[in-house]
Copies of this chain bind each other. A is one copy, B any other.
Amino acid sequence: MTISISTRFDFRLDAPTDLILQFEAAAIPEQAIRSARTSMTCGDDCVRVPAHEAIGERILVHAEGRFEVAYEATVDVNRLAPELAGLEQLAPHDLPGDPLEYLLDSRYCPADRLQSFAEDEFGGTSGGDRIVAIHDWIAQHFTYEPGSSTPTTTALDSFVERRGICRDYAHVLITLARASTIPARYVSCFAPGVEPPDFHAVAEVFLADRTTPGGGAWYIVDATGMATPGETVKIGVGRDAADVSFLTSFGPSHFGDKSVTVTRAG
């Protein structure tokens, strides 16, 4: 599937401020960047470094005043998306080193506190079956409500209030997966069908890979149900939104306008 992306946003910095930006489609095997064009107020005066897990790039900027970003891209997504049901989970001692980190608590996903709930609600299931159960439980009990959460909202807040946006849905799923001893990470992305149109976020869980005995793989799960893995263009991954925000500002910033358009191009 080919996906067309167009986004613009701007913000204002009253004082010289350090920023991390990460908003571009990542160049990774499962998605080929056919074309891309980024224009930013900083011009070429930005530093680019590989982002978390070398998926995508972080752009480091020291700026002041009004800052504008425009980005256009066309991306071919070729991602297998098997049924999760029936996939086994790997015990921590069978995990490769990297996914192990994604079992631990993070800023917005304090999984230790939901261990009792996870066992109580989803006990008897494991692996892909448990992820499906968690997904369905969220779908049944949560309301997608733009404006109902803030940048400091954690998965526990959302768990209590039973509402949120894509970021919150992903955090709750990640937290419940980790509380089930299944590694889970946060994926910022573009996807068609997101309503209202915006940057999107989904989860990835690490489960057994049927094609590789003893091996495992990351599988996309969209707790909101709005995007499908085969049409999701990854920007970056991290433990949660703290790692892969499209704008991290080390000082006050005033957000302006934002538009995001994502369409199926063929």
Contacts and interface: CB of A to CB of B under 8 A. Distances in A.
Interface of A: 18, 20, 46-47, 49-50, 52, 58, 60-62, 91-95, 97, 100-101, 103-107, 110, 112-117, 119-120, 141, 143, 150-152, 156, 159-163, 181, 242-243, 248, 250-252
A160 B117 contact: yes
A54 B223 CA distance: 33
Given A52-B101, A113-B152, A161-B113, A62 B93 contact: yes
B91 A18 contact: yes
A58 B116 contact: no
B181 A242 contact: no
A61 B162 CA distance: 26
Contact of A250 (B107, B141, B181, B251): B181
30 contacts: A18-B92, A18-B93, A20-B92, A46-B93, A47-B93, A47-B94, A52-B101, A58-B100, A60-B93, A60-B100, A62-B91, A92-B250, A104-B107, A104-B242, A104-B248, A105-B242, A106-B242, A107-B110, A113-B152, A114-B160, A115-B252, A116-B143, A116-B162, A116-B252, A150-B150, A156-B156, A156-B160, A159-B160, A160-B160, A181-B250
A115 B46 CA distance: 23
A263 B30 CA distance: 54
Given A18-B181, A20-B92, A113-B160, 16 more contacts: A47-B94, A50-B97, A101-B243, A103-B250, A104-B107, A105-B242, A106-B106, A106-B242, A107-B107, A113-B152, A113-B161, A114-B160, A115-B252, A120-B162, A150-B150, A156-B160
Contact of A116 (B50, B112, B161, B248): B161
Contacts of A110: 107, 152
A243 B160 contact: no
A107 B104 CA distance: 9
A8 to B, nearest CB: 23
A20 B113 CA distance: 17
Contacts of A94: 47
A94 B61 CA distance: 10
A102 to B, nearest CB: 11
Contacts of A62: 91-93
Contacts of A120: 141, 162
